[in-house]
Amino acid sequence: MSRKPSYSPKKTLFGLLFLAVLVFYPYLRAQYLPRSVEFGGETMGTYYTVKIADSRMSKRRLRALHANTQKLLQEINADLSTYDPASVISRFNSNTNTTPQLVTESLVTVTRHALKLSRETGGAFDPTVRPLVDLWGFYNKQDQPIPAQADIDSARRSVGAHLIQTTGNDALTKSKSTASLDLSASAKGYGVDRILQMLVSADCANVYVDIGGEIRTRGKSPGGSAWRIAIETPVPGTALGESHYLTITVEDRAIASSGDYRNFFQADGKRYSHIIDPRTGYPISNTVAAVSVLAPDCMHADTLATALMVMQPDAGLALIAQHTNTEALIIMRDASGQFQDLRSPNFNAAISD
Ligand code: AMP
Ligand code: MG
């Protein structure tokens, strides 16, 4: 007696499922990316990098996050870039009216923060330093002659945090027609914060955002450990990432660095830093070679790092002590060119090797 072939609906279903997986596997694989993804581009005269170490993400979602990041950076540049003559800040700078000028909330936010730090530093940090930056020619970087003392004195008369006020949340007022703003010392950090906030609102839990070395992290790195970041040795002419002074872990906070070794201007065989001491009108010439600041957000870290380049190291550390959850590393060059450093009390806790 021949046996009837047995029909099992369960087996057929499994078979069909197996076939579907076989057919669609290459397609699904192509749509989803590995655990850690990265994108970047150019902004603010430098690079930016975003790393996301979340569970598998579709290519479509990654493309959307990249596009949102680019859009945000374009908006921030349209507000804060002094290199763009059509930006909101450039229009404020060239407008000589001393009545309130309607600007944008971003510009007011960063200006308010920078003016506050200017008061805290007794004017060592000053977002109204632009006439001096212009005079020294760091914007066009050509081998310029050293400005005449009379021109330095004249530019200094248009510099001072008291010359610009925030008016409500979306307007700025200058009390002298020649006063102008330069927020380059804080803009990258502000950009990092805005990108990180956007990514966190889009449910990214493990994120690293870097604009030209100003970095903020959230959550964990791809291996599940804290994000580790190398601080460079401040040697002129070193390529990015070439030599590490030390490596630190940055957990749910920001690190920003400022130095006299990458951005400078040469005249008569002497190197001049792009950071100016508004109190003298001259580029800084102290023993501080580089500063790194750890802070809860990147705008504070970026601004404080520049401020500490101008200040005496002890005064810099005293300022850091007034800011919560903020640490600093000040690298100084001694007479023989060797590096020594000063660290705020809890800086060492972040060192990872
Ligand atoms: P950073 O690279 O963040 O240290 O910022 C340096 C930039 O800040 C310079 O290129 C100038 O545009 C601007 N800057 C220079 N000196 C000062 C200062 N004393 N206070 C505020 N901003 C400054
Ligand atoms: Mg800075």
Q: Does 138 score more than 70 pLDDT?
A: no
Work out the mean pLDDT of the chain and round it to a whole number.
Answer: 91
Q: Is residue 29 part of a domain?
A: no
**Residues 287 and 145 occupy one common structural domain:** no
Q: Is residue 21 part of a domain?
A: no
**pLDDT at residue 1 in the model:** 46
What are the CA-CA distances from residue 186 to residues 59, 257, 264, 321 (Å)? 33, 11, 18, 20
**Residues 192 and 74 occupy one common structural domain:** yes
In the three-class reduction of DSSP (H, G, I as helix; E, B as strand; rest coil), residue 339 is classed as strand
Closest residue by Cα to residue 125 from 327, 291, 346, 334: 291
Nearest ligand 1 atom to the CA of 309 is 4
Q: Is residue 47 part of a domain?
A: yes
**Residues 44 and 193 occupy one common structural domain:** yes
Distance between CA atoms of residues 48 and 36, nearest Å: 17
Mutate to test the pocket of ligand 1, among 81, 82, 129 (most ligand atoms within 8 A of CB): 129
Nearest ligand 1 atom to the CA of 278 is 19
**pLDDT at residue 8 in the model:** 78
**Residues 102 and 200 occupy one common structural domain:** no
| % of the chain at pLDDT higher than 90 | 74
**Residues 149 and 58 occupy one common structural domain:** no
| Ligand 2 centroid from CA 300, angstroms | 9
Q: Which pLDDT tens digit goes with each residue over 150-178?
A: 999 999 999 999 999 999 999 999 999 99
Q: Is residue 324 part of a domain?
A: yes
**Residues 119 and 245 occupy one common structural domain:** no
Give the tokens for residue 210: 């870097």
Q: Which domain holds residue 265?
A: 226-353
| Ligand 2 centroid from CA 306, angstroms | 4
Q: Does 69 score more than 60 pLDDT?
A: yes
Q: Is residue 295 part of a domain?
A: yes
Q: Which pLDDT tens digit goes with each residue over 223-260?
A: 889 999 999 999 877 666 678 999 999 999 999 999 98
Sign of the torsion angle spanned by Cα atoms 316, 317, 318, 319 = positive
Closest residue by Cα to residue 110 from 210, 183, 197, 195: 183
Residue closest via CA to ligand 1's atom 7 equals: 185
Radius of gyration (Cα) for the chain, nearest Å? 25
Q: Residue holding tokens 């490596």? A: 247
Quick one: which H or E segment has residue 304? helix 298-310
Spatial CB neighbours of 143, under 8 Å, sequence gap ≥ 6: 265, 266, 267
Instruction: Determine whether 35 is exposed, middle or buried from the number of CB atoms within 10 Å of its CB (0-12, 13-18, 19+).
Output: middle
**Residues 200 and 240 occupy one common structural domain:** no
**pLDDT at residue 10 in the model:** 80
**Residues 340 and 231 occupy one common structural domain:** yes
Tell me if 286 sits within 8 A of 272, measured CB to CB: no
Averaged pLDDT, 78-98? 97
State how beta strands 254-259 and 264-267 pair: unpaired
**Residues 251 and 268 occupy one common structural domain:** yes
Q: What protein residues have CB closer than 5 angstroms to ion ligand 2? A: 185, 258, 302, 305-306
Distance between CA atoms of residues 173 and 345, nearest Å: 39
Q: What CATH number is given to the structural domain containing 142?
A: 1.10.3980.10
Q: Does 218 score more than 60 pLDDT?
A: yes
**Residues 127 and 196 occupy one common structural domain:** no
HSE value, Cβ hemisphere, 13 Å, CA-based, for 193: 21
**Residues 72 and 198 occupy one common structural domain:** yes
Q: What CATH number is given to the structural domain containing 293?
A: 3.10.520.10
**Residues 144 and 247 occupy one common structural domain:** no
Domain count, the chain: 3
Distance between CA atoms of residues 316 and 264, nearest Å: 22
Q: Which ligand is nearest to the CA of 258?
A: 1
Q: Is residue 17 part of a domain?
A: no
Q: Where are the beta strands (DSSP E) in the chain?
A: 37-43, 46-52, 101-102, 164-167, 171-174, 207-211, 214-218, 227-232, 244-250, 254-259, 264-267, 270-273, 276-277, 282-283, 288-295, 327-333, 339-343
Distance between CA atoms of residues 128 and 125, nearest Å: 9
**pLDDT at residue 54 in the model:** 81
In the three-class reduction of DSSP (H, G, I as helix; E, B as strand; rest coil), residue 69 is classed as helix
Q: Is residue 2 part of a domain?
A: no
Q: Residue holding tokens 């007794």? A: 122
Averaged pLDDT, 316-321? 98
**pLDDT at residue 290 in the model:** 96
Give the tokens for residue 127: 């977002």
Q: Is residue 8 part of a domain?
A: no
Residue closest via CA to ligand 1's atom 5 equals: 185
| Count of other CB atoms within 10 angstroms of residue 114 | 27
Mutate to test the pocket of ligand 1, among 159, 184, 286 (most ligand atoms within 8 A of CB): 184
Instruction: Determine whether 298 is exposed, middle or buried from the number of CB atoms within 10 Å of its CB (0-12, 13-18, 19+).
Output: buried
Q: Which pLDDT tens digit goes with each residue over 42-63?
A: 999 999 999 999 877 888 999 9
